[in-house]
């Protein structure tokens, strides 16, 4: 369940990120779970939008703090091919310490959240697109939408990746704060997410604060199943390179979550999957210029092309974050409750 990603944006910034899973998937729990990356990215994008709107309206504030709850569903049978992931409404409880009427703050927050790039992703239904290479040879996909535009399918650069010598990075950009207890035989306990039959809700919480230095501090925890607490730092300004942007975390989360589903399905059906890699393109913006997530999947398996097609299909069908892409996910907001 250990995965690595190099996330690059169109401005040339690149970040190397590491993900893992907790006891519920028999992971090592040494790095954040995929949904933590997506939760952190969403929270950072929301926070940056709120701070920018306050600045545009010249409203002085002493503090911005919010709690974000993300929930996902997983139902069906992996062995029967019916297992499906879903995305449920997002809950935001925002507290802003400012000398402004509560109704005005509520309007401001709603406007800011609506304008955030991640909100366009949440409310726009887009079918993700895929291409597939099995054992070094490109082949056709199955049920999923085929890539309309080719992308570079090379997976390289990890061995050569090294921090920029100019530095300037914030310390401890991603760190583990608390470890989840490894509990067996309970709902959400060790190995529970590897069951071939599922009917459950996942609950991820993010707690977000804007620091005095302009960086965004997000603490994430997987409440259901039982997961650990991780902390992320993100930038609130596009040209700030001290930490990744919210959109970089969003992109990493989508890729990591999809890869988890590939490995999980191979484990459940007990068929070999020697290696699996992907190249993913994401484009964020307003609903009008948002593009589908485009992923080139590279598999090595002695089971051949048909198994590869099934993996790609089931991966998309069970991935919580591709479910976000193909759904209209509502964000419910409470301001200074």
CB 218 within 8 A of CB 40: yes
Task: Find the range with the poorest average confidence among 30-34, 132-136, 191-195, 258-262.
Answer: 191-195
**186 pLDDT more than 60:** no
**In the block, residue with structure tokens 């479910």:** 323
**95 pLDDT more than 70:** yes
**13 pLDDT more than 90:** no
Instruction: Give the pLDDT of residue 183.
Output: 66
Residues 43-50, mean pLDDT to the nearest whole number: 96
Segments in the chain forming alpha helices (H):
34-56, 102-115, 117-123, 246-269, 305-318, 320-325
**110 pLDDT more than 70:** yes
Residues 46-74, mean pLDDT to the nearest whole number: 95
Task: Find the range with the poorest average confidence among 88-102, 165-179, 265-279.
Answer: 165-179
134 is in which domain, residue-wise? 3-335
**Closest Cα to residue 211, out of 231, 229, 233?**
233
CB 5 within 8 A of CB 16: yes
- pTM confidence score: 0.95
**178 pLDDT more than 60:** yes
Question: What is d(CA 219, CA 209) in angstroms, rounded to the nearest whole number?
Answer: 9
Q: Is 124 helix (H, G, I), strand (E, B) or coil?
A: coil
Name the token pair of 299: 């598999």
Name the token pair of 187: 């709902």
Highest mean pLDDT among 27-36, 185-194, 280-289: 27-36
**182 pLDDT more than 90:** no
Could you tell me what percent of the chain has a pLDDT over 90?
A: 79
Instruction: Give the pLDDT of residue 281.
Output: 94
Residues 8-16, mean pLDDT to the nearest whole number: 86
**In the block, residue with structure tokens 């939760």:** 39
Total structural domains within the chain: 1
Instruction: Give the pLDDT of residue 318.
Output: 97
81: left (phi over 0), alpha (psi -120 to 50) or beta: left
Name the token pair of 266: 């191979």
**167 class by beta-carbon count within 10 Å (0-12 exposed, 13-18 middle, 19+ buried):** exposed
**Closest Cα to residue 69, out of 282, 331, 335?**
331
Instruction: Give the pLDDT of residue 147.
Output: 92
Question: What is d(CA 331, CA 272) in angstroms, rounded to the nearest whole number?
Answer: 40
> Residue 331: is the preceding peptide bond cis (ω within 30°)?
no
Cα Rg for the chain, rounded, in angstroms?
20
- What confidence tier does 150 reach under pLDDT thresholds 50, 70, 90? confident
185: left (phi over 0), alpha (psi -120 to 50) or beta: left
Instruction: Give the pLDDT of residue 10.
Output: 81
**Closest Cα to residue 221, out of 32, 75, 9, 4?**
32
Instruction: Give the pLDDT of residue 270.
Output: 96
């Amino acid at each position: 369940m250990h995965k690595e990603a190099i996330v690059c944006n169109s401005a040339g910034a690149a970040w190397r990120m590491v993900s893992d899973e907790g006891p519920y998937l028999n992971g090592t729990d040494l790095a954040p779970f995929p949904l933590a990356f997506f939760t952190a990215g969403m929270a950072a994008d929301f926070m940056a939008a709120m701070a920018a709107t306050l600045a545009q309206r010249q409203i002085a504030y002493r503090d911005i703090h919010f709690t974000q709850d993300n929930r996902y569903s997983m139902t069906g049978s992996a062995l029967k091919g019916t297992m499906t992931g879903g995305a449920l409404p997002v809950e935001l409880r925002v507290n802003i310490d400012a000398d402004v009427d509560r109704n005005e703050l509520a309007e401001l927050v709603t406007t800011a959240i609506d304008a955030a790039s991640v909100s366009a992703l949440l409310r726009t239904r887009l079918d993700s697109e895929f291409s597939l290479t099995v054992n070094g040879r490109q082949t056709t996909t199955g049920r999923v939408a085929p890539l309309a535009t080719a992308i570079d399918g090379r997976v390289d650069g990890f061995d050569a990746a090294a921090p920029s010598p100019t530095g300037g990075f914030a310390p401890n950009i991603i760190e583990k704060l608390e470890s989840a207890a490894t509990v067996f035989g309970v709902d959400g306990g060790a190995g529970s997410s590897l069951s071939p039959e599922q009917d459950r809700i996942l609950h991820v919480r993010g707690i977000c604060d804007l620091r005095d230095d302009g960086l965004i501090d997000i603490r994430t925890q997987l409440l259901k199943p039982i997961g650990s607490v991780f902390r992320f730092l993100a930038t609130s300004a596009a040209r700030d390179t001290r930490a990744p942007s919210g959109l970089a975390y969003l992109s990493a989360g989508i890729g990591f979550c999809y890869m988890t589903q590939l490995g999980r399905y191979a484990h459940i059906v007990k068929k070999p999957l020697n290696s699996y890699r992907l190249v993913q393109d994401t484009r964020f913006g307003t609903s009008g210029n948002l593009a589908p997530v485009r992923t080139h999947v590279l598999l090595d398996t002695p089971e051949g092309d048909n198994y590869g097609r099934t993996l790609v299909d089931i991966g998309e069908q069970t991935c919580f974050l591709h479910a976000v892409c193909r759904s209209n996910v509502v964000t419910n907001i409470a301001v200074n409750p």
